[in-house]
Structure 1
Amino acid sequence: MAEMVVIRHGQASFGQDNYDVLSDLGKRQSAAVGAVLRGLGWVPDRLVTGTLTRQKDTALAMGFSQAPEEHPGFNEYDFHDLLHARYDGQVPDLVQGDRKTHFRALRETIFEWQDGAFSGAAETWDQFAARVAAARAFATDTDARRVLVISSGGVIGQLTATALGAPRRQMMNLNLQIKNTSITRFMFSGSNFSLAEFNATPHFSDPESVKLTSYS
């Protein structure tokens, strides 16, 4: 069977005007995961990213030579848009500024989104799930044996939940566990698609590099 290794992008710029920019820590994380893959002798035959800057810059910082292909299905859901839709444009200051409150509200918002409990978002849950499935089909419709994908936490959570046949709520429970630049590995052959490894960070395994760990 072939492998699809999915890396969550490096740490972005939470709390800044433009979230879609790698922080200095995110750049170091990206270089570290690229180095550990090469150290294991794992070099991709095919490289795919979403269209977001933080995803493409993660791929660049990982240091592989080939130019990536892009598929928008690997882009994250627009959490700012979802929060604005849920709160009718009046997102509480604490939700926007306090990290713990923000992620608690995000979890609740995703569950309501899945249930169709509010309207006005640019993308429905069913549209998100469909584009992630389309991105997976794109990446695995290949003769390549090693496919490297750079994506985001929500997409990885959805890919994992789907591979496990888990209830849709599990997507967000997985999403919130996923570390920046963690490795999630799937095996595929034809229509078969299965999870082999989730949220692994061998590049953060010693006392010095563990300091690189982040979740947002």
Structure 2
Amino acid sequence: MPALYLIRHGQASFDAEDYDQLSLLGEKQGKHLGQTFAVNGLQAQHVICGGMKRHRQTAESCISGMGVDVTSLSWQIDPDWNEYDHLDLLQAYTALPGVGEQMVADMAGDKPRAGFQSHFAKAMQRWVSGQYDSDYSESWAQFSARIRRAVEAAASSTKGNVFVFTSGGAISAVCGQVLGLTPSSTAELSWQLANAAYSKILCGQSGMKLLSINEHSHFDGHHRELLSYR
């Protein structure tokens, strides 16, 4: 019976020219997760990565932390696990009258990340509402269908443990589908997912069961400094 470990990528480079690149903290997070898996005796029979750089880098850091030769594992790149296009969401949102100017002003304050997050949450809620689908290159419904296709493919890939390295939006979409959450609640769930945290899905004949979500106890105690959400 396949067990899917849906692993969110480590911290990306928010302030860098290339966001799709792990920060130094992100690399440490991936490695520490792998070390935790190794201590617990957890092994992967198959590895799936989304097509983004931060997915692959997190996978490599994690597998390295496990003390396993990356080339010894069965690997697959599946772009269906890619995150939604956050720039597309922002472009549609900031095109609204006065919104772009206000966002720039809020990000110019003492807490630019908080300013960005406040506006991005609104941009995402607009997207998942389904009322403005023509404004986006990929609607929420299309994204959800893509992720559903990805998780079904992953579930059929092996009978053992499958490590899936992906993004928070994709993981929350899977969890939302299994739990029957509304699109709005699914979007809110994504804000709670820590970097290099994992959620576990058990796939059987009766369907998919969510066994754990956003597991990040490996960042408790002495490793608290490794915990991040953005």
Per the TM superposition, whether the score is higher than 0.5 is yes
Q: What is the rounded CA distance, in whole Å, between the counterparts of 1:51 and 1:85 in structure 2?
A: 24
1:56 to 2:56 alignment: yes
Q: Answer yes or no: is the 8 Å Cα contact 2:201–2:208 preserved in 1.
A: yes
Number of the residue aligned with 1:121: 136
Number of the residue aligned with 2:153: 138
1:93 to 2:109 alignment: no
Q: What is the rounded CA distance, in whole Å, between the counterparts of 2:122 and 2:205 in structure 1?
A: 36
Task: Give the counterpart letter for 1:194 in structure 2.
Answer: K
Q: Answer yes or no: is the 8 Å Cα contact 1:36–1:202 preserved in 2.
A: no
SS of 2:22's equivalent?
coil
Provide TM-score, normalisation by structure 1: 0.93
1:68 to 2:79 alignment: no
Number of the residue aligned with 1:3: 3
Q: What is the rounded CA distance, in whole Å, between the counterparts of 2:209 and 2:48 in structure 1?
A: 19
Task: Give the counterpart letter for 2:135 in structure 1.
Answer: G
CA apart distance, 1:67:
5.3
Between 42-51 and 114-123, the greater mean CA deviation after superposition: 114-123
Provide TM-score, normalisation by structure 2: 0.88
Task: Give the counterpart letter for 1:76 in structure 2.
Answer: E
Q: What is the rounded CA distance, in whole Å, between the counterparts of 2:203 and 2:185 in structure 1?
A: 22
Residue of structure 1 aligned with 2:193, choices 178, 189, 204: 178
Can you list the C-alpha shifts for 1:39-72, whole angstroms capped at 9, x where unaligned?
1111110100100000000001112422531111
Can you list the C-alpha shifts for 1:16-55, whole angstroms capped at 9, x where unaligned?
2211000000000000001111111111101001000000
Can you list the C-alpha shifts for 1:97-131, whole angstroms capped at 9, x where unaligned?
62112112222111111223434322111110011
Q: What is the rounded CA distance, in whole Å, between the counterparts of 1:12 and 1:88 in structure 2?
A: 26
Residue of structure 2 aligned with 1:194, choices 209, 212, 223: 209
191 and 142 in structure 1: CA distance in 2 versus 1, 3 angstrom threshold: farther
| Larger Rg, first or second structure (1 or 2) | 2
Q: What is the rounded CA distance, in whole Å, between the counterparts of 2:199 and 2:106 in structure 1?
A: 29
Task: Give the counterpart letter for 2:204 in structure 1.
Answer: S
Task: Give the counterpart letter for 1:55 in structure 2.
Answer: H
1:167 to 2:182 alignment: yes
Q: What is the rounded CA distance, in whole Å, between the counterparts of 2:52 and 2:150 in structure 1?
A: 14
Q: What is the rounded CA distance, in whole Å, between the counterparts of 1:61 and 1:215 in structure 2?
A: 18
Q: Answer yes or no: is the 8 Å Cα contact 2:45–2:74 preserved in 1.
A: no
Between 186-195 and 113-122, the greater mean CA deviation after superposition: 113-122
SS of 1:195's equivalent?
strand
Q: Answer yes or no: is the 8 Å Cα contact 2:46–2:158 preserved in 1.
A: no
CA apart distance, 1:81:
1.5
1:110 to 2:124 alignment: yes
Give RMSD over aligned pairs.
1.7
Task: Give the counterpart letter for 1:47 in structure 2.
Answer: V
**Could you list the runs of 5+ residues in structure 1 that have no partner in the other structure?**
none
Q: What is the rounded CA distance, in whole Å, between the counterparts of 2:35 and 2:107 in structure 1?
A: 35
Q: What is the rounded CA distance, in whole Å, between the counterparts of 2:120 and 2:148 in structure 1?
A: 22
SS of 1:179's equivalent?
coil
CA apart distance, 1:191:
5.8
